Amino acid sequence: MDLLNTLTYDETYRPQFHYSPPAQWMNDPNGMVYYEGEYHLFYQHHPGSTVWGPMHWGHAVSKDLVRWEQHPIALRPDRNGTVFSGSAVVDWKDSSGFFGGGTGLVAIFTQDDSDPETGESRQRQSLAYSKDKGRTWAMFAGNPVLTDARFTDFRDPKVFWDERRGRWAMAIAAGDRIAFYTSPDLKEWTFRSEFGQTEGSHDGVWECPDLFELPVDGDERRRKWVLIVSIGDNPDEPAGSRTQYFVGSFDGDKFVNENDGDSVLWLDHGRDNYAAVTWSDVPGDDGRRLLIGWMSNWKYANQTPTDAWRGALTLPRVLELRSGAAGTRLVQKPVDDIVTLRESVRELRDVTVKEGENPLAGLEAECLEITAELELRGAEELGFRVRKSGAEETVVGYDASTGRVFVDRSRSGQSDFHEGFACRHEADITVRDGRLRLQLFVDRSSVEVFAGEGELAMTDLIFPSAGSMGLEFYAKGGEIGIVSMSVSVIKSIWQEAR
Ligand code: FRU
């Protein structure tokens, strides 16, 4: 443990305010649960290598979702196989009987192995429990608790307490659909229904579901359910692995999509937000639905150019549902506590920017946040160039002719590890009253963009040289008004350990 917490986290590309494992490989966030003042984060981890391999659950704990304390490995492969993705819950009523009438944490996850008779790969669901606030875990002797031999891909159970029905509910990926189960005790599971074979995107295998209810526009009397589904990589799809969501209703047994089956809602329009799921048991008086995703893409996840570790997570985000002309949609914004890392370096108000001007000239920063409210005054394009030097830049901008926000990482730095990495992508945003809000977080190897009220998020890895620290705001083909803009350096969450 001491070793874990005395690492310097100062390597090339090492994220300074995003979570990354101390060493070796990480993919999906797992088992996120809040319990007795702590946010737990487990994650898919291969402790023997910086490429994917036999999966364990790594572990970290935070009190504010910003600063993380590294903990030893929580779950290791056993006779039932390696430990794939899953969730964790607080068993408040000791429904499992693991806690002698008290409370504790139960993890529900997939174990991956092969059938000793047929040699075929199989995925079955198991439990582990912790009586000491997640520090040590015991595998349940009755594992596995849920199997379905019809599916080779049967994984990533997300479990929550269904208050109205007084029982546990599970959403689990089963090949090309999501299956729903219920249980009184987390051990015995009853199949209820399945969803999605003909709905949404099927560009890849379905993985890592999450299912939760949110008020619409903050109105507790109007609530809808959100079903998040990640879809795996497909060699024919340049965007690689991505995360979609559905909005609808759930009656304890069945999820019904309120949109057309062929409409697809993306959680994030960047390339690097996968397997995103939410925390369970966030107290009711807090009420936030908190999401975190893996900041990578199966297309090149095993090749990204880091040495000591590989993999990082997005900033934790608060999810809300908003109604609009197109329907009810998720909006997301980073957790507020990030402000505790801010050191403001420039504030602008009521400034007009003409083509060729750079109001951020002279500023240099590696890790930063920019928040801006901009007035579109006829310019064709506006944007920020971050992590800039003569040869490198990452551009985050808005193209007024198409009404789209874009991230262009085609000259962002190292990209030769995969032919598809150097790219530009974009997504629609509705601009109201000629004003556009943008918020950017730039770390040593990522850029996260939130546009409008958070209705558009774009998350992308970048691998710039350490010396590429220039900053620019530009207007093209006309003027832009800066109503307000604030540029802050973001301090390292690891610097206290250095
Ligand atoms: C998603 C995923 C999950 C699986 C895990 C294995 O990225 O493929 O479906 O449980 O990773 O590491």
Q: Alpha-carbon dihedral of residues 33, 267, 387, 306, nearest 10 degrees?
A: 60
Ligand 1: residue of 56, 85, 151, 314 to mutate (most ligand atoms within 8 A of CB) is 85
pLDDT in tens, 403-429: 999 999 999 999 999 999 999 999 999
Q: Which residues are catalytic?
A: 28
Q: pLDDT band at 176, cuts 50/70/90?
A: very high
pLDDT in tens, 83-98: 999 999 999 999 999 9
Ligand 1: residue of 28, 49, 176 to mutate (most ligand atoms within 8 A of CB) is 28
For residue 294, give the ligand 1 atom closest to its CA: 7
pLDDT in tens, 19-30: 999 999 999 999
Is 123:152 a contact under the CB 8 Å cutoff? yes
The token pair that represents 244 in the structure block: 């979609």
- DSSP code of 286? T
How many helices (H) and strands (E) in the chain?
Answer: 1, 33
* For residue 144, cis peptide bond before it (omega within 30 degrees of 0): yes
Pocket of ligand 1 (CB under 6 A): 27-28, 44, 55, 84-85, 110, 155-156, 207-208, 275
Q: What is the pLDDT of residue 495?
A: 83
Query: Cβ-count burial of 486 within 10 angstroms (0-12 exposed, 13-18 middle, 19+ buried)?
Result: middle
Contacting residues for 378 by C-beta, under 8 A, at least 6 apart = 477, 478, 479
pLDDT in tens, 340-394: 999 999 999 999 999 999 999 999 999 999 999 999 999 999 999 999 999 999 9
Q: What is the pLDDT of residue 1?
A: 46
Q: What is the pLDDT of residue 498?
A: 59
Give yes or no for residue 295 having a pLDDT over 50. yes
Contacting residues for 268 by C-beta, under 8 A, at least 6 apart = 242, 243, 276, 293, 457, 458, 459
Q: What is the pLDDT of residue 243?
A: 98
- DSSP code of 280? B
Distance 420 CA to ligand 1 centre (A): 22
Give yes or no for residue 395 having a pLDDT over 80. yes
The token pair that represents 187 in the structure block: 């051990």
Could you tell me the domains of the chain? 3-334 (2.115.10.20), 337-497 (2.60.120.560)
Q: What is the pLDDT of residue 8?
A: 86
Rounded-to-integer distance, Cα 284 and Cα 166, Å: 17
Which residue, by CA, sits nearest to atom 6 of ligand 1? 84
